[in-house]
Structure 1
Amino acid sequence: MITITKEAEGYLEALADELTISPTRYDQAVARYESLGKWLHRDASKVKQYDPQVYSQGSFRLGTVIKPEDENGQYDIDSVCELAALKKDQLTQYALKELLRVEIEAYRTAQAMVKPLGEGRRCWTLEYADGAQFHMDIVPALPNGTSTRLLLESRGLDARWASTAIAITDNKHALFYQPATDWPRSNPKGYANWFRSRMAVAFSRRRRKLAEAAQASVESIPEYRVVTPLQQAIMILKRHRDQMFSDRKDVKPISVILTTLSAHAYESEETIGQALVSILTKMDRFIGVDGIRYYIPNPSDPLENFADKWAEHPERRAAFYEWLEAARRDFFYAAQVTSRQVITDSVAPRIGRDLAERARDRAAPKSASSLLRPATAASAAAAAPTFPAEARVPGKPAGFGSR
């Protein structure tokens, strides 16, 4: 059993703090998708009648977003635009995507955005001006909760998170241009709800402690300001992976696999060190294999296999296990060391020397608590939440990351 030193715990807290993006960046991201939500609800909007709901997805929604390795790097704002008053049998995937293209292009023009609207398989992309460090992917979607629940139940699968499922567009889908009810599925809200359930105990415990420290009510502590060891551990593991595969991005383990396995392995540990050791020890136990194929089911839609590419690209499976072995070696060793400099030197090769030394310097005098995202408990009590758990109507629109 690994004994984690207090020096290692302090270092890991500082490392997570260094990776956490500033409240200003959160506010800037929120302002961008709220602005789009307001635009889609204006009187002249061609989609206003369909009740467009804009909400975040991916690492911003899960609270696991990290600063780019390069201080001038881009932040990806992954979002969904769900037309809540439309159904799949009323239009094609192409028609939905085109309907939103017209509105998003009009928004881009009205905002005097210089860069052209980009298109991905499933989304439209707004590129903000140089220096803004943001681009926003907007996935067109329709409600799909009932269909998804019936499908999962017919297969005897867990459908508890299905009510928030959506149907999305994919221009590579065989029925993209044809009327059909068979659309690609997603469920960013359902996944986020599952993820929150995995850290619910630790979240409540930390929020209560913050309220006590601030002599405030629990409800006055904004949810987005509370960060759990699970979220902090995932942030650290993502940076370790990014650095390790900086020259091999084609086989880099995808974030949704790291996040899903980490959440499964997490058992409400109270510190980052305890969480990291627990996660790295057990995360591969949640990978299924039938002798040929590997399975990491999407908890919100078990018919989706996050490891589906491993059969076609066995090098990606090998890369995951290579990363896991390296992460275990690096962090298991660091967890047992008492010298901050030795910890720094041991993790620097795979998180970056500059980051490792900033964490060392931050931890040296006294590791500031990172229970609260960069802010004091007192200021948190007065802050407004950025990414609400539920979508709201324009002005305050509130999703799961791209793979």
Structure 2
Amino acid sequence: MPESRYDQAVESYKSLGTWFYRPASTVRTFDPDVYVQGSFRLGTAIRPHNEAEHYDVDSVCELKKLSKSAGSQSELKELLGHEIKAYRIAKNMTKPVRPGRRCWILEYADGAQFHMDIVPALPNAQGQRLLLESRGLDTRWAGTAIAITDNETWNYAILSDEWPRSNPRGYAEWFKGRMAGEFEKRRRVLAESRRARVETIPDYKVRTPLQSAIMILKRHRDMMFLGKHDIRPISIILSTLAAHAYNGEETIGRALVSILAVMDQFIHHDGMKFIIWNPTDPLENFADKWEAHPERAEAFFQWLARARKDFREATGLAAYNSMASRLAPGMGRLLTERAETRTGRGRGIGRPALLRSASPVPAAPLAFPPEPRVPSKPQGFA
């Protein structure tokens, strides 16, 4: 995805935060904190499959000086919705603000090709810590926990202490920790290439093999489930399993092989249901919908088998054009042709030694260069 899209997303949520802090704001006294979450925060957002689709920028507006005792979920959502609707009018945005299940949806002009989902939230560090401590569970990430709105909960319209929970900042820190070595190394390289201080390089401008591998797997998933959006594996599951499976590999090729070989080993089954724990909230199961919708579990394992087959066969080839042709059905022909052009059309490359995995599915010989490639511009790393 173009770096400019990340810049655009950052400017958009910063602009909204500035609006919430203007003198006439009805939420200013509650110390509103607007920040991005999801794939844009993790650095794993990918281009929409076609020009008709939009980038989905997920964000949070946390009112840091407001508590759950001040009102219901619905009251918080309406409070923030009033300000978002006023923002749309002030910025001359033509499309109306729409309510989502947990958020408000702010649609930008067609040319921008993205919309922003803004989730109303309140601090929930103390409540989360007490909840986890009462169960004897890990509380290390509780400090950034939030309570969010959800109009499908039974207590949405009444005063209650039981709100849906989330922790996007905690999850992002956990995710970053899974790639810490490569992240810091590449951040330094990027800073040197721009003659800038390391601390001035935003996290989202750094790209590690883990992030790139997840983007590739997400594209492969999207192609496999075109027109079947309701059953395709959700991104948080792919990202979590990939981050668990990543072992510090220095190239995208090695990261892909390693992740695909063992990512399913981090899916548990208690005899009744599949469990993929949220690493920052031991009470949340990312696969909770699989029990009521077993076709989603089946879809995940079908996708994993297909991805293993496609990339295993591609890495056994010795030329970029052969690899591109093999991956085109699973990744999209336009994307693979672009990649082939960038790497040098049809250029053969040597095969490194076998890379074996602990997985019962054998890994094929890699056909990716064994050393990291440092680009002149920060589009990514091989």
Instruction: Say whether 1:76 aligns with 2:81.
Output: no
Give the stretch that moved more between structures: 230-239 or 291-300.
291-300
CA–CA separation in structure 1 for the residues paired with 2:198 and 2:30: 37
Q: 1:344-377 CA distances to partner (integer Å, 9 max, x unpaired)? A: 111100111111111111111799745963399x
Contact 2:241 2:263 in 1 (8 A): yes
1:186 aligns with one of 152, 166, 170: 166
CA separation in 2, counterparts of 1:237 and 1:138? 26
Q: Which residue of 1 aligns with 2:361?
A: none
Q: Deviations over 1:15-39 (max 9, x none)?
A: xxxxxx2222222211211111111
Q: Count how many residue pairs are aligned between Structure 1 and Structure 2.
A: 356
Report the counterpart of residue 374 of structure 1 in structure 2.
379
State the TM-score, normalizing by the size of structure 1: 0.85
C-alpha separation in 2, matches of 1:134 and 1:127 = 7
Contact 2:58–2:118 under 8 Å retained in 1: yes
Q: Which residue identity lines up with residue 279 of structure 2 in the other structure? A: P
Shift of 1:242: 0.2
Residues 1:372 and 1:60: Cα distance change in structure 2 (over 3 Å): farther
Deviation at 1:223, TM superposition (A): 3.2
Identify the match of residue 247 of structure 2 among 267, 277, 283. Answer: 267
Partner residue in 2 for 1:121: 101
Counterpart amino acid of residue 378 in structure 2: R
| Matching of residue 110 in structure 1 with residue 90 in structure 2 | yes
1 CA distance for matches of 2:185 and 2:91? Answer: 43
1:133 match: 113
**Post-superposition CA distance 1:260-317 (Å, at most 9, x none):** 0000000110000110001000100000101211100111111110001111111100
One-letter code aligned to 2:379: P
Please state how far the C-alpha of 1:219 moved relative to its aligned partner. Answer: 3.5
For 1:327, the aligned partner's letter is A
Identity among equivalent pairs (%): 58
Asked whether 1:156 is paired with 2:136, we answer yes
Q: Are residues 1:59 and 2:35 paired? A: no
- Partners of 1:372 and 1:276 lie apart in 2 by 23
Judging changes above 3 Å, is the alpha-carbon distance between structure 1 residues 268 and 87 closer, same or farther for their aligned structure 2 residues? Answer: same
Paired with 1:371 and 1:62, the residues of 2 have a C-alpha distance of 23
> Are the equivalent residues in 2 in contact too, given 1:261–1:284 (CA < 8 A)?
yes
- How has the CA–CA distance of structure 1 residues 370 and 144 changed in structure 2, closer, same or farther, with 3 Å as cutoff? farther
User: 1:140-181 CA distances to partner (integer Å, 9 max, x unpaired)?
Assistant: 000001110111122122211111000000111111111111
Give distance in 1, aligned partners of 2:195 and 2:119.
42
Q: For residue 153 of structure 2, what is the aligned residue in structure 1?
A: 173
Equivalent residue of 1:249, what SS? coil
Q: Is the 8 A contact 1:226 1:371 kept in 2?
A: no
Preserved CA contact (<8 Å) 1:93 1:169? yes
Farther off after superposition, 220-229 or 326-335: 220-229
**Most deviating of 203-212 and 264-273:** 203-212
CA deviations 1:188-242 (Å, max 9, x no partner) are 0010010001010111222334455666654454433221100000000000000
- Structure 2 Cα separation of the partners of residues 220 and 124 of structure 1: 32
Distance 1:103 1:126 in 2: 12
Contact 2:207 2:380 in 1 (8 A): no
196-205 or 313-322, larger mean C-alpha shift: 196-205
CA distance in 1, matches of 2:101, 2:27: 21
Does residue 196 of structure 1 match 2:179? no
2:230 alignment partner AA: D
Tell me, in whole angstroms, the C-alpha distance in 2 between the residues paired with 1:117 and 1:216: 39
Q: Does 1:280 align with 2:260?
A: yes
Higher mean displacement: 72-81 or 87-96: 72-81
- Structure 1 unaligned spans of 5+: 1-20, 377-403
Structure 1's consecutive aligned runs of 4 or more residues displaced over 2 angstroms after TM superposition are 205-225, 365-376
Could you list the runs of 5+ residues in structure 2 that have no partner in the other structure?
A: 348-368
Distance in 1 (CA, whole Å) between partners of 2:88 and 2:68 is 27
Aligned partners of 1:225 and 1:372 also within 8 Å = no
Contact 2:6 2:204 in 1 (8 A): no
8 A Cα contact 2:33 2:61, kept in partner: yes
Find the aligned partners of 1:127 and 1:291 in 2 and give their Cα distance.
Answer: 43
CA distance in 1, matches of 2:149, 2:179: 31
After TM superposition, the score normalised by the length of structure 2 is 0.89
Q: Give the corresponding residue for 2:352.
A: none
Alignment of 1:189-338 (within 5 A): 189-211=169-191, 217-338=197-318
Secondary structure of residue in 2 paired with 1:250: coil
CA RMSD of aligned residues (A): 1.9
Distance 2:175 2:337 in 1: 31
